[in-house]
Amino acid sequence: MKKSIEKIIQRPASPGMVGDGFRVFHYIPGTDISQRRISPFLVLDFNAAYDFGPSKKVKGVGVHPHKGFETVTIAYKGSVAHHDSAGNSGVIRPGDVQWMTAGSGILHKEYHEEEFSKQGGPFEMVQLWVNLPQKHKLTAPHYQAITASQMGKAQLPDNQGIVNVIAGNFNGISGPAATYTPANLLDIKLNRDGALVAKIPATHNTALLVINGSIAVNDEKTAEHSFVLFNNDGEDIELRALENSVILLLSGEPIQEPIASYGPFVMNTEEEIYEAIQEFQTGKFGVLS
């Protein structure tokens, strides 16, 4: 049985700036989709391909805190560097993923990698925030550096394309990312007329973003940068590329717990939010300059 489409949302009219290095369109929240409806996903920001131009000043986002969830950054074009107060640092390049578990609290900064910044060029990325269940919200912060070569790779027959499995499973091929609740995160690249059927549990909240190109989703034409939200009523999603296309497919078992959020903190109660703010203000998330 097909997983039917609940709604197709076109790209928001205008982007917003996160720091001076991320020009993003906000799909979650902000496009008539609540965080509870798409749980465990809390935020989806899409930096559609954009050339910031060569710069001697490295652009990005300065030091800021996170607590109670995970950030997942997927690089399509350009390079992103990061540092955090747990001592982690690294660079992700096209095809790589930075998966940071903020857990009990961390300071973090992310910015254009220095050499990329000097040269300029197209910059394209997605950042997801993934909620943590209450029993894991105070887990120690940690980081998964996932390179393109580490992805689970499902080659489609007859040169139709490839599915890079970041998390979860596609056709028996598993992704390298460890998740706290069941989730699938698939980076799908289809050549023109390439097609596939993705099987997703009916219980999962499921959506896709057309990063590049245009596709037919269950035979419904879907334009570039469209966001498709599915009903929880079936398991099969049929995709066919109308031109060379890149699609991000995400699904997850919803976390049936209260959501209390304030800026970079996502907990279960308002009292926990106040506690997170106090911890940040008193330096309990560590030091990062």
Spatial separation of the C-alpha atoms in residues 90 and 288, rounded to whole Å: 15
Tell me the CA end-to-end span of the chain in Å, nearest whole number.
52
* pTM > 0.85: yes or no: yes
CATH class of the 5-252 domain in this structure: mainly beta
The confidence band for 29, taking pLDDT boundaries of 50, 70 and 90, is: confident
The confidence band for 139, taking pLDDT boundaries of 50, 70 and 90, is: very high
Q: Name the nearest CA neighbour of 5 among 221, 213, 217, 211.
A: 217
Per-residue pLDDT tens digits for 213-265:
999 999 999 999 999 999 999 999 999 999 999 999 999 999 999 999 999 99
Residue-range domain boundaries for the chain: 5-252
Q: Tell whether the model's pLDDT for residue 53 goes beyond 90.
A: yes
In this prediction, residues 4-11 reach a mean pLDDT of: 96
pLDDT reported for residue 31 = 66
